[in-house]
Amino acid sequence: MKMPDHETATAQAENTEADLIAGCRAGEREALEALIKQYQPAVLRVCVSILGSREVEDLVQDVFIKILKKIRGFEGRAALFTWIYEIAVNHCRDELRRRKRRRWFSLHEMPQEALEQIPLDEISASEQIEAGEVRSQLRRALNQLTPKYRELVVLRDLEGLSYEEVAKISGLEEKLVKSRLHQARQILAGKMKRYLEEAPHV
Amino acid sequence: MSESLRPQEHIAAATLWQWRAQELGAGESAAVQQHLQSCAACQQRARMLGRVLHEMRARHHAAQPALAEQMHLLAALQTEFAPSQKSRALVSASQSVVRWLAPALAVLAALFVLWREETAASNSSLESLLAPSREEQVLMASDEETARQALMELAFSTEEK
């Protein structure tokens, strides 16, 4: 009996994913290359947007090391990409906690993300123009969100994942994801108020 | 999730966001669209929200790993996880040993069986050569009874021949 096209495609994708997992478990170069090619961009994007900094190369590497250490125990209960997102998000949470502790111990230091958390009103109009207008404002607005809100905006609004997937990754009930995301969007829209209520400046 | 919409009120930003993300139910979506048709301010806000979301996604997706980052990551993972050269050499050596060992053992087993059969055959022929003939048994008999029995057997065998 011939399988329908979409079922054939799903079966092929599952085979490819199974091959990829088996190859990674064996430490095969081709499998590692494929894993990096397929998932490094998403892991990098999530880390950059959650941590608010492009300096995440070491962090991305740590995420992949975690993935490969854990892949032996991957049972396929969730899709591989959801599982990888989950590891990346958890790693970002750990990193944010580490940074918070470090900041507490070195108060004289003011890292980039702290600079980005200065309220928008405290930055002069000319500085805002110099800083890169809407995108720059957005970066600040996103970084001003607390991590619990930020990761939901990143997964749902920026990565375009479904509510079900976001719930799995963040370990929250789908209902709670919806309600938190609604609050996050309200906060974000509030911070972007002048751009949402005035004619475009750029 | 979205607040109920009264005609005289502007739409909340988060509801406009849900509408843009196509997360509203059919009824709520129709209500937003109806409001937008009659409210220029909300139309402008919806347009701007669309632009802000587009900018957000563009900024997010602009973060791409450089080729050097990919290569660096691959090298790091290979160092950490790929089997080392020494263990790879060990694995390939053991594989070739296994490849040759099985047929070699089979040949050795076959040779051993043949040798065993050969040895058994030669032992039986040697035993038959070393066994005393009936005449010798008569001559070698230690007592009279044995000699008589040997003579009888010799006589019978001579008759049979």
Q: How much is the pLDDT for A127?
A: 46
* Listed range (A10-24, A82-96, A163-177) with the worst mean pLDDT: A10-24
Which pLDDT band holds residue A106 (cuts at 50, 70, 90)? low
The contacts of residue B17 (CB under 8 Å, 6+ apart) are A185, A189, B49, B53
Find the closest chain B residue to A49 by CA distance.
B60
Closest chain A residue to the Cα of B59, Cα to Cα: A135
- Which residues in A lie closer than 8 A to residue B60 (C-beta atoms)? 45, 48-49, 154, 158-159
Q: How far apart are CA B49 and CA A186, in angstroms?
A: 12
Q: What is the pLDDT of residue A202?
A: 34
pLDDT at A122 (0 to 100): 47
Q: Which residues of chain B have pLDDT under 50?
A: 1-2
Residues of chain B with C-beta less than 8 angstroms from the C-beta of A49: 60, 63
Residue in chain B lying closest to A65 (CA): B77
Rounded-to-integer distance, Cα A89 and Cα B10, Å = 36
CB contact under 8 A, B70 and A36: yes
A78 at interface of B, judged by CB pairs closer than 8 A: no
Q: Would the CB atoms of A28 and B78 count as touching at under 8 Å?
A: no
Q: B19: which 2 tokens? A: 């509408």
Torsion B16-B20-B23-B29 (CA) sign: positive
Task: Give A-chain residues touching B59 at CB under 8 angstroms.
Answer: 135, 138-139
Helices A174-191 and A163-170 pack at an angle, to 10 degrees, of: 100
Q: Are A88 and A47 in contact (CB under 8 A)?
A: yes
Q: Which of A61, A139, A178 is facing B59, going by the closest CB pair?
A: A139
For residue B121, the model assigns a pLDDT of 77
- The pLDDT of residue A2: 52
Residue A5 has pLDDT above 70, yes or no: no
Model confidence at A151: pLDDT above 60: yes
B108-149 pLDDT per residue, tens = 999 998 888 888 877 777 677 777 777 777 777 778 888 888
CB pair distance less than 8 Å for A32 and B78: yes
Q: Which of A135, A196, A199 sits opposite B49 (nearest CB)?
A: A196
Q: Which among B15, B51, B81, B86 is the top mutation candidate for probing chain A, defined by the most A β-carbons within 10 Å of its own β-carbon? A: B81
Interface predicted TM-score of the whole assembly (ipTM), two decimals: 0.74
Q: For the beta carbon of residue A191, count every other beta carbon within 10 angstroms.
A: 19
HSE toward the beta carbon, residue B142, CA cutoff 13 A: 0
Determine if the pTM surpasses 0.90. Answer: no
What is the model's pLDDT at position A42?
Answer: 96
What are A63's two structure tokens? 């995420």
Contacts of B73 in chain A (CB under 8 A): 36, 40, 60-61, 64
> Where does the pLDDT of residue A157 fall: very low under 50, low under 70, confident under 90, or very high at 90 and above?
very high
State residue A165's pLDDT score: 96
Calculate the average pLDDT of chain A.
Answer: 81
**CATH number assigned to the domain covering A116-202:** 1.10.10.10
Q: State whether the Cα torsion B81-A73-A61-B57 is positive or negative.
A: positive
| Least confident window among A81-95, A159-173, B62-76, B144-158 | B144-158
- Percent of chain A whose pLDDT exceeds 90: 51
Specify the pLDDT at position A137. Answer: 80
Give the pLDDT of residue A109.
Answer: 47
Tell me the pLDDT tens digit for each residue of A111-143: 444 444 444 444 445 444 444 567 778 888 888
SS3 of chain A: the string is CCCCHHHHHHHHHHHHHHHHHHHHHCCCHHHHHHHHHHHHHHHHHHHHHHHCCCCCHHHHHHHHHHHHHHHHHCCCCCCHHHHHHHHHHHHHHHHHHHHHHHHHHCCCCCCHHHHCCCCHHHCCHHHHHHHCHHHHHHHHHHHHCCHHHHHHHHHHHHCCCCHHHHHHHHCCCHHHHHHHHHHHHHHHHHHCHHHHHCCCCC
Q: What pLDDT is stored for residue B81 in this prediction?
A: 82
CB of A185 less than 8 A from some CB of B: yes
pLDDT tens for residues A33-44?
999 999 999 999
Q: How far is B49 from chain A (nearest CA, A)?
A: 6
Taking CA–CA distances from A23, the nearest residue in chain B reads B82
| DSSP sequence for B85-110 | HHHHHHHHHHHHHHHHHHHHHHHHHH
The candidate with the shortest Cα–Cα distance to A111, out of A51, A32, A197, is: A51
User: Given this model, what pLDDT does residue B52 score?
Assistant: 84
A169 to chain B, closest Cα gap in Å: 19
Chain B residue with the nearest C-alpha to that of A48:
B63
pLDDT at residue A123, as a whole number: 46
User: Hey, are the CB atoms on A60 and B65 less than 8 Å from each other?
Assistant: yes
- Better pLDDT: B106 or A202: B106
